[in-house]
Amino acid sequence: MTRWAQRSVLVALVVSATTASAQIPQSELRSGYADLGRDTKAMQDDDTTNPGMLWALDGEALWKTKAGNAERSCADCHGDAKQTMKGVSARYPAFEGTLGRPINLDQRINLCRAQQQQARPFSYESKELLALSTYIGLQSRGEKLNPPSDPRMQPSLNAGKELFSRRVGQLNLSCAQCHDDNWGKKLAGNTVPQGHPNGYPLYRLEWQSLGSLQRRLRNCMIGMRAEPYEYGSTEYVDLEVYLTSRGRGLPVETPAVRP
């Protein structure tokens, strides 16, 4: 499909979308895995062919590597990740009291590096940060998304919901118009997913690489011809808070594979 044809499909979505989006009922929630082709499902299901497992292996090595002025590893504090990290990624983002705001898993890793290891935080989307977040996320595979019921998260949840429903960019689209109102329909030959975060970090065939949920959110904003936020911004974390709440109950698939 040509770029102009894709743009026409997006414009058609704008026209057909309802003014007020309706959130997907819990009984109709479905992971993006359900919309994959047979070969892509097979790639995700087999750890020997899932490219994301390469990052997980690097993350396992980093977990045991001493770093920083403190000469401490993640394992020195947390022990065996297969035991202590089970279910952790399913509960993030979470409220961090010392900062007075919610943080995502990447930010928690960097906070531990700075405070406990006395090491320089990793850059967003760096190989090291993706590797550690993938390895930690892998320990929760099969666990259900279970965001904390913490009243301190409510302002962030409300802000994320508002951002999800806000029209932005030259195409005047919102996240909700695609992922609440038009999921299951076709766009450029692909099925529009419900847009849940249960597979991140994940390997995208389009990227030929692994990336975070914030990378995907940036891609969507660029596709809507909107100015993306900076990695680690409050806006992206708010969106993550809302998306995790919206997908509550779906199984963690990290590292998932998507088109």
- Of the candidates 74, 175, 178, 220, the residue annotated as catalytic is 220
What number of other Cβ atoms are within 10 A of residue 98's Cβ? Answer: 8
216-223: list long-range contacts, CB under 8 Å, 24+ apart.
220/175, 221/168, 221/169, 223/10
Taking alpha carbons only, the member of 87, 80, 56, 96 closest to residue 201 is 56
In Å, how far are 61, 200, 242 from 93, measured between CA atoms? 24, 13, 9
In the residue annotation, 220 being an active-site residue is answered as: yes
List active site positions: 220
